[in-house]
Amino acid sequence: MNQSPGQAHFDLSEIVKDFIFRDRRIADYQQFRIRILFDESASLRRLAEVGNTTGTMRIEKGDESDFHGFLAAEIRNTVHVGYKSFLHSPIKNGDKTIGYITFDSLEKVNYQENDIARIKILSALIGYEILHLRQKRSFSTTLSQNLGRVFRATRKELGLSQAELAGRIKTSRIALSRWETGSQPPSRGPLFRWATELGILAGGKRSLITVVDATPRLLEIIKHEPARLDDLTPDQFELVVADRLSCMGYDVQRTGKSTMKDGGIDIIALPRMRDVASFLLAVQVKHHSRGASTGRGAVDRLLAWQNTVFRLGLLVTNTRFTRDAIWTATSGDARNFLRLRDFEDLKRWLQGVYHSEMDWKEIPESIELAPGVSVQVPKPKFSEANIVWPFKL
């Protein structure tokens, strides 16, 4: 029996805010799409107040066989580099305007793996709730209580006891009981394992949100306007550097958020082609939003890793280096370990040009292997964009 539209009203705004916009952290440039089902009697303005997004909303008729009397709304965000992008969009049902939604920009809000998992969990919960509207379920209570209710119902549908599920997700039965009652919401890690074990991260009707990689689009913007690197957050800038290193042929691993203690290393890189030789590259990324220079302190911190497991150190900044920093990096043994890359180098990287004439000038014309025995050092032509070995940095 179909539920009448009036009984199907529920508000998703706080849930979306809590899941997606709790932490303004950057990890990847992404787009996301949200399909929300709601009835015409719902408060459309409040329903779509999902926080810092920018985009358009399209209203279309829902599948009446499954969701009688509902409309499907698709919110699609477009990512911008600038801060102050706003869009005031009318919501229309046919030719009739039935509401307005104002979106704030999303360019500083993107997601790491766990955040993407949280979006998928959110989509699963929304889908689960829609599929059970006829049982008069709703999101009218607090978020943690609703999480517990949905997960508890799913666990029972699967015929799992609390003890069995707790064992599978490596937590205690007491903790799981608290999650299900809403008295103690789980952190992201357990929440991800919890939802995965119950199978509600799967696709199908429960998956209403799709995460789409938008990295190429943003890189294209920065490629044509390199000065916009200054507008990025430190985390975003770190991701741009990681992306460029990946394009050069390195496997990259970030050590954590840019605000975390990392011993002076933000990215660890390893060449993908390791048939002949392998080495570790330590990368430190320094982002300045007001044109400040990167000084000797950053150089000294990276030099502390010389003569360790790392063969080379790379210090990257979106501005420039002080004279002291350059002198320290190019003096003595430091010049055999450290490479400095500034805004001018980043412009090359964004164009897909990864070799550096300076590095090849630093290599001697010949090397004396033994008394009276020397060998010429081959040097590639500068037109070769894909130079092998770390000097392509």
Q: 325 falls in which pLDDT band (50, 70, 90)? A: very high
pLDDT score of 125 more than 70: no
Q: 256: phi > 0 → left, psi -120 to 50 → alpha, else beta; which?
A: left
Q: What pLDDT score was predicted for residue 95? A: 59
Gap between the Cα atoms of 378 and 346, Å rounded: 26
How confident is the model over 263-292, as a mean pLDDT? Answer: 81
Q: 261 falls in which pLDDT band (50, 70, 90)? A: low
Which of 82-91, 135-144, 148-157, 294-303 has the weakest average pLDDT? 82-91
Strands 250-254, 373-376: pairing kind: unpaired
Gap between the Cα atoms of 342 and 358, Å rounded: 13
Structural domains of the chain sorted by starting position, each given as residue range(s) with its CATH number in brackets: 5-210 (1.10.260.40), 220-392 (3.40.1350.10)
Summarised one tens digit per residue, pLDDT across range 127-162 is 333 333 323 333 334 556 666 777 787 788 778 899
What is 63-99 written as a DSSP string? -TTTSTTEEEEEEEE---SSS---EEEEEEETTEEEE
Alpha helices in 92-186 (DSSP H): 113-131, 143-157, 162-168, 173-181
Q: What pLDDT score was predicted for residue 319? A: 94
Summarised one tens digit per residue, pLDDT across range 190-231 is 665 676 677 654 333 333 333 333 455 567 777 888 887 887
Summarised one tens digit per residue, pLDDT across range 227-249 is 878 877 787 788 788 888 888 88
Beta strands in 235-389 (DSSP E): 250-254, 267-271, 280-286, 310-317, 338-341, 366-370, 373-376
SS3 at position 57 = strand
